[in-house]
Every structure is written in structure tokens, then in C-alpha cells.
Amino acid sequence: MQQVYFDNAATTQLRSEVITAMVEVMNNNYGNASSSHSFGRSSKSLIEKTRKAVASYLNVSAGEIIFTSGGTEADNLILQSAVRDLKVTHIITSKIEHHAVLHTIEQLVKDYKLVVSYVDLKPNGKIDYLHLETLLKREAKTLVSLMHINNEIGNILNIKKVADLCKANDALFHTDAVQSVGHYNLDLQDVKVDFLAAAAHKFHGPKGVGFAFIRRNSALKPSILGGEQERGLRAGTESVHNIVGMEMALKCAYQNLEKETEYIKNLKQYFISSIEKNIPNATFNGKSGNLEKSTYTLVNVCLPIPPKKAAMLLFQLDLKGIACSKGSACQSGSNQNSHVLTEILSENDLQKPSIRFSFSIYNTKEEIDYVVGVLKAFVE
């Protein structure tokens, strides 16, 4: 039995360079970065060197990068403080955001006098920009929270357009960029987002570390209290080896971006063509079947299988050594339909199984042949 990993949108394999960098730090730089002795200063120096490097990839200043435990913490920090400390009373979001955003907003509604507006979606899951512009006219302190790349269907938000709309209407803009940092060039001097969240394990870095971009003078306050680490915005002893590992992963990603993007894009095109050839009644959810209008890293396919048989699909794929997701990894253990697909699919299509396959540099066309062969046999 082959072992095939097509769940890279959930998490990725560590690069060997990242492992080497992390092991070196764990062996030699184990001091607490808040300590004043030489061991502590050595760790602190590594953290600040990494902060400058991460900032350089986004074309921002080092002081605007706050290290966190990942994208979820970064989203929570930004949203909670925006409402609590910046007195945001109106949030505009969509119903297909990551639950790190949606559940945080649900809790904020319970705790504060907060109005939430959900921007309309086109049938393919695309944001209705005209409706967004209308919502921005509301007389209130407003924050827009829309993800750059949808983690289930791969739709790409025009974040520059949204950022410009927000600036024109005196609104703040937060984007969850977990699926795009390390996969796309982002110049935050050109794209005027106020806040951004990222996670290292989505671009071949370690789990348990990410960062928040918080534009200078935003006046956010911490959600985790204790020490003065991370400019006072995130208390807790820094995980130096993880932080250095994340920077190495970003360095490798951006040094090889053009070559690796082309390689993965070819894999996705090959997968789409193979599905269309072997399972002609399959469809692609959102814009994921369109290479120009979705991320090159994933595809979400709806298979022509009746409901009773569909319930066994993921189990059968797992038995064949194939790792993939029916939605985001956060929902893969649930029997409920994906909240994203529920918003954009017909009742008929929701009865069919939809599977997300996501690719990386470690995948091959031979693996795709194997997966498509297994899918074809199951459908038939």
C-alpha cells in the first residue's frame, strides 16, 4: 500500500533545512530570551534577527511583527483587541471564514454591543464587492475581517481592493493569510491591510508558531497577560527554536517561490485533468477547478457518489494510505457538512462527498495517478 499525503492545507512536512536550524538552536541557544545573562541575550538576538527577516518578506518594519503560537491566536488577538480596545462596534465578515474568526466573532457578540454584517457571496463563493462597499457605508467604527485564500475551496480575495475600500471608508481591515503567506508575495506597503495572521506549519515550518502583523500605531492591547514579551502584546517565554524554524521555512519558501509554484501548479493542473478524464461527472467546488482564479495549492472536488456510499469514502481512502480532508482539518472529525460548502452548494450537491486535496513540493504525478485510480474504482 502506498502512503500519499494530499492534506497540505491542513499542515505540511518540515523542510530538512528547518529541522537543521531548529536542532542547532535547541542544542546551543536554550537560554530564556528575557534573561539578562549571555545565554538569554543569545536567544533574544536570534528572535530579533528573525523578526527583521520575517518583516522583510512582507516589506514592513520589525516592530510590526508579533510572534504567536499560530494563526488562531493571531486572529483572536487582533479581533478581541479591536473590539475591546479600539472600540470597534461593527464587524464585516463572511460566512465562509475560518472558525478561528467566526467563533471569535460569535463570542465577541455575546460579550460586547457588537453588530456583525455578513457580506453576500456569489454562487461560487466569491465575495460580492459591491455589497461590501454598501456595508462599509454604515455609521460605526468598523473592522472588516476577510481571509486572503479560503482554506477549503481556494478562492482568492482581492485584498488590495478590499484594503482600498476600507481606507476610503475609514474602516480597519484584518485578513487571515494563513493559506497565502509563504505561497504568495505580499507587499504590505502596497496592500494596506491593518492586521494579518499567519502560521508556520502551512509553509513547511514547525507547528505551534506563527505571527500577527499589526500595523504601527494601531493601539492593540494584549489578550495574554503575564510578561512584557513581544512588545508587551503577547506574554510568555518565546519558543526560540520554533521562531527560528519559521524564519528558515519562510526563507526557503521565498527563495524558491517561482520554481516551486510552477511545480505545484502543474500538479494541480494534472490532477484536474485526470479527474475530468476518469470521473467525468465530478465537479470542482468554488473556483478551485480554475487555476487562474484559485490558489495553486488545493482543489476541492465533489464526486458523483450516492449518500450511503459517500459515508465510507474517507475511510476507504485512509485504508488505501491516502490522506486528504472533507473540509478543513478542524472539521475532519465531524459528521457535519463543511460550513463553507453549506453556503455555496445546492442541497443535491451537499448529499455528495466533497474532498479537499492539497499539494506541496513533496508530491508527484505518480501519486496523483494512484489517488485518481482509487477514486475512479470507488465511484464505479
User: Would you give the distance in Å from CA 143 to the centre of its chain?
Assistant: 19
**Per-residue confidence band for 231, with pLDDT thresholds at 50, 70 and 90:** confident
The arithmetic mean of pLDDT across residues 235-261, rounded, is 97
Helix or strand (DSSP H, E) at 213? strand 210-214
Residue 334 reports pLDDT greater than 60:
no
Q: CA 74, CA 198: separation in Å to the nearest integer? A: 7
Residue with cell 536542532: 23
Residue with cell 484559485: 294
The arithmetic mean of pLDDT across residues 31-54, rounded, is 95
For residue 336, what pLDDT is reported?
Answer: 67
For residue 101, what pLDDT is reported?
Answer: 98
For residue 47, what pLDDT is reported?
Answer: 96
Which one-letter DSSP state was computed for residue 13?
A: P
Q: CA 42, CA 77: separation in Å to the nearest integer? A: 28
The arithmetic mean of pLDDT across residues 241-250, rounded, is 98
| Mutual angle of helices 16-28 and 240-255, in 10-degree steps | 150
Q: CA 12, CA 178: separation in Å to the nearest integer? A: 12
Residue 276 reports pLDDT greater than 80:
yes
**Per-residue confidence band for 380, with pLDDT thresholds at 50, 70 and 90:** confident
**DSSP alpha helices (H): ranges in the chain?**
16-28, 38-58, 71-84, 99-111, 129-135, 159-168, 240-255, 257-278, 307-310, 313-319, 339-344, 347-350, 365-379
The partner residues of 176 in beta bridges, in order of sequence, read: 197
What rounded mean pLDDT belongs to the chain?
94
**pLDDT top residue among 206 and 123:** 206
Which of 19-28, 78-87, 344-353 is predicted least confidently?
344-353
Residue 301 reports pLDDT greater than 80:
yes
Residue 60 reports pLDDT greater than 90:
yes
- The total number of residues shown for the chain amounts to 380
The arithmetic mean of pLDDT across residues 207-211, rounded, is 98
Helix or strand (DSSP H, E) at 276? helix 257-278
Residue 255 CB neighbour total at 10 angstroms: 10
Which of 93-107, 205-219, 228-242, 275-289 is predicted least confidently?
228-242
The model carries a pTM of 0.94
Which of 60-69, 182-191, 220-229, 366-375 is predicted least confidently?
220-229
Residue 236 reports pLDDT greater than 70:
yes
Residues contacting 223, CB < 8 A, separation 6+: 76, 77, 80, 81
**Per-residue confidence band for 332, with pLDDT thresholds at 50, 70 and 90:** very low
Written as nine digits, the cell of 365 is: 504525478
The answer to whether 252 is a known catalytic residue is: no
Asked if residues 264 and 254 have their Cβ atoms less than 8 Å apart, the reply is no
Residue 21 reports pLDDT greater than 50:
yes
Percent of the chain with pLDDT over 70: 97
For residue 310, what pLDDT is reported?
Answer: 85
Percent of the chain with pLDDT over 90: 87
Written as nine digits, the cell of 337 is: 457538512
For residue 330, what pLDDT is reported?
Answer: 44
pLDDT, tens digit, 9 for 90 and up, residues 129-169: 999 999 999 989 999 999 999 999 999 999 999 999 999 99
Residue with cell 510578561: 227
Written as nine digits, the cell of 264 is: 505545484
- Which residue ranges form the domains of the chain, and what is each CATH number? 4-12+257-379 (3.90.1150.10), 16-255 (3.40.640.10)
Helix or strand (DSSP H, E) at 165? helix 159-168
Helix or strand (DSSP H, E) at 142? strand 142-145
Residues contacting 102, CB < 8 A, separation 6+: 93, 95, 339
Q: CA 145, CA 282: separation in Å to the nearest integer? A: 32
The partner residues of 7 in beta bridges, in order of sequence, read: 358
Which one-letter DSSP state was computed for residue 93?
A: E
**Per-residue confidence band for 309, with pLDDT thresholds at 50, 70 and 90:** confident
| Side-chain half-sphere CA neighbours of 54 within 13 A | 31
Q: CA 260, CA 361: separation in Å to the nearest integer? A: 6
Query: Amino acid letter at 269?
Result: Q
For residue 308, what pLDDT is reported?
Answer: 83
**Per-residue confidence band for 327, with pLDDT thresholds at 50, 70 and 90:** low
